[in-house]
Amino acid sequence: MRLVDPDGRQLGIKPLPEALHLAREADLDLVEVAPMASPPVCKILDYGKWKYEAAQRDKESRRKATNVQIKEMKYRPKIGGGDFDTKTRKVAHFLDQGHKVKITIMFRGREMAHPELGKRILDQIAEQLTPGAKVEAAPKLDGRNMVMVLAPDKRARSSGSAKGDQHEHEQHDEQQTQEQQPQET
């Protein structure tokens, strides 16, 4: 079998008893890393430490994988201004977290005669969220509902985050100068 030492240097082709003897001398384990190779490759290493590091690498790769969900927000054609703003802020929050958002306008009764009202609301939402979102599925009527899907726009978020930080600093500086000025009574 081909033998590799703990530092990664090849020790050449050694018989199994000699490889085991070298591993025991180093107070380490002999691990077969490539059984299908010809000859099989074995490495002298601390098996417990190697297994722990492999688990950490797997855990890290799972953590980096993004878990995108589709969130849904329902609106009505006769929605009030405050409710519209609240729901739209929540949609922006979902998009900032990296989720896709399905926006549904629910029509009831005679509201079905005016789908342009629902289209206007969806266009207004898309317009408000344009810098950080892109329309993935254009508004379409589906039975009594009109549906549109928004997805986070990665390019706008990465360039917008730097601008947002700059804007926050400007607001903070402006607020400090207002606090330093004497107020008239």
CA distance 14 to 17: 8
101 and 126 together in one domain: yes
Alpha-carbon distances, residue 59 vs 53, 63, 157 (angstroms): 10, 6, 27
pLDDT at position 63: 78
pLDDT at position 50: 86
Q: Which of 63-72, 74-83, 128-137 has the lowest mean pLDDT?
A: 63-72
| Domain hosting residue 126, numbered range | 70-156
Residue pLDDT, tens place only, 127-172: 998 888 889 889 999 899 999 999 998 776 565 554 444 444 444 4
pLDDT at position 59: 87
86 and 134 together in one domain: yes
| Residues 87-113, mean pLDDT to the nearest whole number | 92
Lookup: tokens for 32 = 């077969």
CA distance 86 to 88: 5
CA distance 2 to 30: 12
77 and 55 together in one domain: no
92 and 113 together in one domain: yes
- Cα dihedral value 166, 167, 172, 174, nearest 10: 120
Residue 32 dihedral angles phi and psi, to the nearest 5°: -80, 115
> Residues near 108 by Cβ (< 8 Å), separated by ≥ 6?
76, 144
Record the pTM. 0.53
42 and 97 together in one domain: no
